[in-house]
Structure 1
Amino acid sequence: MANRKKIRIAAMADIHTKSSDKGILRSTFKEINEKADILLICGDLTDTGDEEEARILGEGLDVLQVPVIGVLGNHDYEKGRQKMIKQILAEHDMTILDGESIVIHDVAFAGVKGFGGGFEQYMLSLFGEEMMKQFVHEAVDEALQLDRALTRLEQDNPQMPKVVLLHYSPIKETIIGEPEQLYPFLGSSHLADTISRRQVTVAFHGHAHAGSPKGQTSTKIPVYNVAIPVLRREKKDQSFIIVEV
């Protein structure tokens, strides 16, 4: 893999497609065709988890000439129609990962939505009321799904670069800017543990609109917050970033 040609990954998150957004990202997707080899969209594809919003996004994706991979976000679960949203977007050639993986251009991609739970020494623990345990179990289960997807990739080709897509953050650094009271609901270090253990190349997430654009795990793996509000705070009208892998 030493002589593998690098690929240009365009990444964005938190599109929040509304029923009135037909054609709104057309120029952005055309620009991605020129600048990237693949597009990643890290959750909150729709605004209220409605099928019509997914159809509008799907119609917009039709202009893309590069593969597009994504994960669902919390907004996509709002109405309990996440399976329909996934199916609609699949009809427009978008691959939604939920504990699965895919290899494109000799790069491996694995994705889950992720969940909250807090970070480092302030992570919530499996103790107390049943509802609190269920909350923590959800975070652990999402990390385990990601771990299984990455394990399968390592078995197939251990030398292949591994890219992780999430909606929730794996580290505290990229949510700084949000109110500290919200930290337990914006991500979980369980995700970072998996990313570090499996020696991932780079990870992308969204969700934290007021967060920070870039950080790294304790093992120096780069993590990007590609929520559109974060990108546009860095540069006016910016809707995606490009990272070479």
Structure 2
Amino acid sequence: MTEELTDPRPTTRIAAVGDIHVRENDQGKWEEFFRQASQQADILLLCGDLTDTGRIAEAEILVKELKACTIPIVAVLGNHDFERDNQKTIRKMLIQENVHMLDGDHIVIGNVGFAGVKGFGGGFDQGMLGMFGEKMIKNFVQEAVDESLKLDGALARLDGEYTDIKKIVLLHYAPIKATVVGEPEQIFPYLGSSRLAEPINRRDVVAAFHGHAHIGTLHGETSRGVKIFNVSRPILLRDGYETGFYIFEV
């Protein structure tokens, strides 16, 4: 799918944030946030945990607040959005409000192609969990493998359908260890997986954005130098981004 930007700038300005955790009593809290993002960027990326506990009532508040946003929105769900098994309904509600929800899908806006998945855990580098042992462990690892394959498929379709576009990846879980550093090391396996970095490295991606690790590190790079940004809102506020979103130009 392709969406044209109106009055495109020489560069496309992307506002990215994750982990906004909208609650049932948040009505009116986020309007100014989305309004500012619309004024400062051409596209808004939402990197999962859009709701606090996956309640439909939280998603209803989010949908109302998003009406203040006047630029295209691209999003993935996070683990909190799955908490009450309402993820399909939440996704449908957001799609009905013209949010581009990615789950192994892609969208091209202007000259930028976005591919996204939620991702999953499993650990990083030499500490990455292997598919060996009990069935429960194999199922856990398979979920990470499946998410990586979905991401690779979305990027492959961008390669096959478009030329001369810049590719951006949208995730909730981290694809590298560097952007979760700051969290307790014991929970690294639950914060992301190096399996997600493989298609990012191989498919000529410009940058990837994720959330999930609230006390991690803003910026890192893959083994091949692809920029990775942990745009969890608590990190952005901690690091002095008063708007609560990160601006990236591509």
Give the TM-score band, short-chain normalised.
over 0.9
Identify which of 161, 164, 170 aligns with 1:159: 164
Please say if residues 55 and 89 of structure 1, whose CA atoms lie closer than 8 Å, have aligned partners that are also in contact: no
Which residue number in structure 2 is paired with residue 195 of structure 1? 200
Which residue number in structure 2 is paired with residue 44 of structure 1? 49
Cα deviation, residue 160, structure 1: 1.1
| Separation of aligned partners in 1, 2:119 and 2:31 | 28
Please say if residues 15 and 246 of structure 2, whose CA atoms lie closer than 8 Å, have aligned partners that are also in contact: yes
| Separation of aligned partners in 1, 2:138 and 2:51 | 29
Which residue number in structure 2 is paired with residue 144 of structure 1? 149
* Counterpart amino acid of residue 148 in structure 1: G
Which residue number in structure 2 is paired with residue 77 of structure 1? 82
Please say if residues 33 and 243 of structure 2, whose CA atoms lie closer than 8 Å, have aligned partners that are also in contact: no
| Separation of aligned partners in 2, 1:51 and 1:231 | 27
Which residue number in structure 2 is paired with residue 89 of structure 1? 94
- Alignment RMSD, CA only? 1.0
After TM superposition, the score normalised by the length of structure 2 is 0.95
Identify which of 23, 26, 33 aligns with 1:28: 33
* Counterpart amino acid of residue 235 in structure 1: G
| Separation of aligned partners in 2, 1:236 and 1:157 | 34
Identify which of 194, 211, 219 aligns with 1:214: 219
4+ residue runs over 2 A deviation: none
Q: Does 1:235 align with 2:248?
A: no
| Separation of aligned partners in 2, 1:192 and 1:180 | 19
Please say if residues 21 and 49 of structure 2, whose CA atoms lie closer than 8 Å, have aligned partners that are also in contact: yes
| Separation of aligned partners in 1, 2:118 and 2:194 | 14
Cα deviation, residue 92, structure 1: 1.6
Cα deviation, residue 34, structure 1: 1.1
Cα deviation, residue 63, structure 1: 1.0
| Separation of aligned partners in 2, 1:150 and 1:5 | 24
Identify which of 113, 121, 129 aligns with 2:126: 121
Q: Does 1:62 align with 2:80?
A: no
Q: Does 1:18 align with 2:30?
A: no
Please say if residues 32 and 68 of structure 2, whose CA atoms lie closer than 8 Å, have aligned partners that are also in contact: no
After TM superposition, the score normalised by the length of structure 1 is 0.97
Structure 1, unaligned stretches of length 5 or more? none
| Separation of aligned partners in 1, 2:64 and 2:95 | 12
Q: Using the aligned pairs only, state the percent identity.
A: 52
Please say if residues 119 and 184 of structure 1, whose CA atoms lie closer than 8 Å, have aligned partners that are also in contact: yes
Secondary structure at 2:118 match in 1: coil
